[in-house]
């Protein structure tokens, strides 16, 4: 590892649900000021790991080390907005916990950046799905966090909203130095945003590989040969995990 300061470190994490072991001796670290991505297919334990790292769930064993009592913020897979509060009130609700409720300029900036400046006084049900997700995202940044946990924030969004949000996260992260821990199942998403990618696989019950993306984030295009090669590598890793179905050929022929 480089001499970058670690903000969060997970050592030898184990987690089972009844008899099902999900994570086994897992090690992971998030450095100050980076976008660290956890990439894995469905069922690989991404959300479990996310919840353990974020302190929302306890591990069966292992150690979680936080440096300098960092302030965490969260962007959940589906927006968790208070339906009886307006967009601005939703931000103030979390800001109050850190004495930041008077930071109106910050709120205004976030509303402007996310294109929600005309919807400050709207209730969540008056916003589209994409707008709600944007509100969920800026709520996280409204508490001036040290580390933001993003759990598949783009999952159910259209292409344009995805690009917009990616741009927004990238800009705020670059200029503020806030660390980000992003969970996704989409290799492209990971390659376009992350400085470092952990590949999680159910088969290993832990990290399969760690990839560093050196290219400056602003210039990244999937068509770039280097990035494309990395995408290919990731795809190969996932393909190698898919089980062989040849054994069923005879049965399929017979039974159909």
Partner 1 sequence: MKNFITKPFWLLLIVIFLIWERGAAGLNSLILPSIGESYQALKEIAVSGILVKSFIITLRRTLIAYGAAVLAGIILALLLHRFSLLQRTFRPLITIIQATPPVVWVSLAVVWFGVADDLTPIFLIFTVSLPVIFVNIFQGLEEMNTDLIEMAKAYSTPRLRILKEIYLPSLLPALVSALSVAFAFAWKSSVFAEFIASSSGIGYQLSRANSMMATDRLFAWTIVLVLFMLFVEYYLLEKLKAHVSRWKND
Q: Which residues bind partner 1 (CB under 8 A)?
A: 54-56, 72-74, 76, 80, 82-85, 93-94, 96-98, 123, 125-126, 143
Pick 98 or 238: Cβ nearer partner 1:
98
Pick 180 or 191: Cβ nearer partner 1:
180
Residue 33's φ and ψ, nearest 5 degrees, are 75, 20
Contact 120, 153 (CB under 8 A): no
SS3 (DSSP) at 8? strand
Name the minimum Å distance from CB 8 to partner 1: 15
Report CA-CA distances (Å) from 36 to 8, 41, 211.
11, 17, 10
Name the minimum Å distance from CB 255 to partner 1: 44
Pick 58 or 82: Cβ nearer partner 1:
82
Name the minimum Å distance from CB 154 to partner 1: 19
Pick 83 or 216: Cβ nearer partner 1:
83
Name the minimum Å distance from CB 149 to partner 1: 9
Residue at token pair 């924030």: 153
Name the minimum Å distance from CB 143 to partner 1: 7
Pick 91 or 201: Cβ nearer partner 1:
91
Pick 73 or 172: Cβ nearer partner 1:
73
Q: How many CB atoms lie within 10 A of CB 128?
A: 11
* Chain centre to alpha carbon of residue 215: 20
Nearest to 153 by CA among 138, 173, 142, 143: 138
Name the minimum Å distance from CB 103 to partner 1: 15
Gap between the Cα atoms of 152 and 183, Å rounded: 5
Pick 22 or 54: Cβ nearer partner 1:
54
Name the minimum Å distance from CB 171 to partner 1: 23
Gap between the Cα atoms of 193 and 211, Å rounded: 13
Gap between the Cα atoms of 234 and 237, Å rounded: 5
Nearest to 8 by CA among 41, 58, 40, 50: 50
The DSSP code for 256 is -
């Amino acid at each position: 590892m480089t001499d970058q300061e670690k903000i969060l470190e997970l050592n030898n994490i184990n987690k089972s649900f009844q008899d099902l072991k999900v994570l086994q001796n897992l090690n992971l670290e998030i450095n100050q000021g980076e976008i660290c991505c956890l990439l894995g297919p469905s069922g690989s334990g991404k959300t479990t790991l996310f919840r353990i790292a974020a302190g929302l769930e306890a591990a069966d064993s292992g150690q979680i080390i936080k440096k300098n009592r960092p302030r965490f913020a969260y962007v959940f897979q589906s927006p968790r907005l208070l339906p009886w509060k307006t967009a601005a009130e939703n931000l103030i609700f979390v800001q109050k916990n850190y004495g930041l409720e008077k930071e109106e300029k910050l709120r205004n900036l976030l509303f402007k950046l996310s294109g929600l400046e005309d919807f400050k006084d709207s209730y969540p049900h008056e916003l589209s799905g994409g707008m709600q997700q944007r509100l969920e995202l800026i709520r996280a940044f409204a508490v001036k966090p040290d580390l933001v946990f993003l759990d598949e924030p783009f999952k159910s969004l259209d292409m344009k909203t995805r690009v917009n949000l990616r741009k927004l996260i990238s800009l705020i992260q670059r200029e503020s130095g806030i660390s980000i821990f992003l969970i996704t199942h989409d290799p492209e998403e990971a390659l376009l945003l992350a400085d470092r990618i952990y590949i999680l696989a159910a088969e290993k019950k832990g990290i399969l590989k760690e990839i560093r993306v050196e290219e400056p984030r602003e210039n990244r295009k999937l068509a770039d040969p280097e990035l494309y090669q990395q995408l290919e590598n990731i795809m190969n890793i996932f393909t190698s995990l898919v089980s062989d179905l040849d054994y069923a050929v005879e049965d399929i022929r017979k039974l159909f």
